[in-house]
C-alpha cells in the first residue's frame, strides 16, 4: 500500500495503532500481512482514497477497490 501525502507515515501509523492491524510501515508504504487488516483498512481508512495505491505482490497487479 502506498499513500501519497506529505504526512503519510504518520497517517499510516495512527491508523495501524487504532485498528490494531498486523502491518509494517516504512515511510509512505505499508505492508499488510493478513486479510483482516486489509478489510479493516478498506472499512476504516478516514483519509482521501485518491491518495491510496494498493499493489498485490502475489498477483503482481494493482487492487482496484472501487
What's this model's pTM, rounded to 2 decimal places? 0.85
* Strand arrangement, sheet containing 23-26: 23-26, 29-32, 2-3, 52-53
DSSP tally for the chain: helices H, then strands E: 2, 6
Tens of pLDDT, residue by residue, the chain (66 residues): 999 999 999 999 999 999 999 999 999 999 998 999 999 999 999 999 999 999 888 899 988 765
Rounded to whole angstroms, the Cα distance separating 29 from 17 reads 15
Amino acid at each position: 500500500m502506498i499513500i501519497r501525502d506529505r504526512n503519510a507515515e504518520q497517517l499510516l501509523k495512527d491508523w495501524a495503532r487504532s485498528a490494531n492491524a498486523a502491518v509494517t510501515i516504512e515511510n509512505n508504504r505499508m505492508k499488510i500481512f493478513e486479510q483482516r487488516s486489509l478489510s479493516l483498512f478498506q472499512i476504516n481508512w478516514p483519509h482521501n482514497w485518491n491518495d491510496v495505491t494498493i499493489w498485490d505482490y502475489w498477483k503482481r497487479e494493482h487492487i482496484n477497490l472501487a
